[in-house]
Amino acid sequence: MTVISVVKDAEARTLTITSRFDAPIGRVWQVWSDPRQLERWWGPPMYPATVMEHDLAPGGTVTYYMTGPDGERHGGWFRVRAADPPRSLELDAGVADADGTPLPGAASAVIRVALSELDGAGTQMIVTAAWASDEAMAEMLATGMEDGMTAAAGQIDELLGPPTQT
C-alpha cells in the first residue's frame, strides 16, 4: 500500500500523509522538480494541471493552472520557502487567476515535503499540508464545508480526542 499513514489534526488544520514508493529518492524528487511530471499528478483527473513557471530554488516560484471539464482554468502558485534536493521542500501555496497571476491575499496553505531513503530500497514521502486562514482557500474548500455540514453525526470522543490516525 502506497499510503501508510494519515494523521489529521482539526485544531491545527493540518493533514500529514505518509507514503512509500518503490523508487530511489532522486526519482521521487523528480515528480516535484520536473514540471512535466508535476503536471501529471498535481491536478485531479478532471482538472489536469499545466505548469508554466517552475523554479524550485529557495525564493523561486511555480505557477500553474488546472483546466476543468468545460475548459475553465483554475490558477495556482507555489512560493518556495526552502528546498534541499532531494530531501525536503517547503512551499507556500495559493490561488491565482487563469493566467497564473497570484490573487491578492496571503498564501492559503503551507506544504512541507520530506523525502527519506528506506532501508533496502524505496523512498518515504511525508507531506504535511496546513491551511492558512485565507479567503481564497476558503473558497476552494467551501464545497467541502457544505458537505461536512450535512455529514452524518460522528463520534464526539473522536472529535475531542488527539489527532486521529487511520
Partner 1 sequence: MVVGIDATERTDALFHALADPTRRDILAVVLQESHSVSDLARRYPISFAAVHKHVGALERAGLVTKTRHGREQRVSGEVATLRTVHGLLDDLEGLWRGRIDRIEQVLAQPTERAPR
Contacting positions for partner 1 (CB under 8 A): 2-3, 6, 8, 10-11, 13, 15, 17, 19, 21-31, 34, 37, 40-42, 44-45, 86, 125, 127, 129, 131-135, 137-139, 141-151, 153-154, 156, 159-160
Q: How far is the CB of 143 from partner 1 (least distance, A)?
A: 5
Amino acid (one-letter) located at 143:
T
6 versus 52: smaller Cβ distance to partner 1: 6
Helix (H, G, I), strand (E, B) or coil at 149: helix
Q: How far is the CB of 81 from partner 1 (least distance, A)?
A: 19
Q: How far is the CB of 58 from partner 1 (least distance, A)?
A: 19
Q: How far is the CB of 88 from partner 1 (least distance, A)?
A: 15
96 versus 136: smaller Cβ distance to partner 1: 136
99 versus 146: smaller Cβ distance to partner 1: 146
Q: How far is CA 118 from CA 21, 111, 129, 166, in A?
A: 9, 22, 22, 22
69 versus 144: smaller Cβ distance to partner 1: 144
- Residue with C-alpha cell 487511520? 166
Binning the chain into helix, strand and coil, the percentages to the nearest 5 are 20, 40, 35
Which of 96, 113, 98 is CA-nearest to residue 41? 113
Instruction: Kindly state the helix (H) or strand (E) to which residue 58 belongs, with its residue range.
Output: none
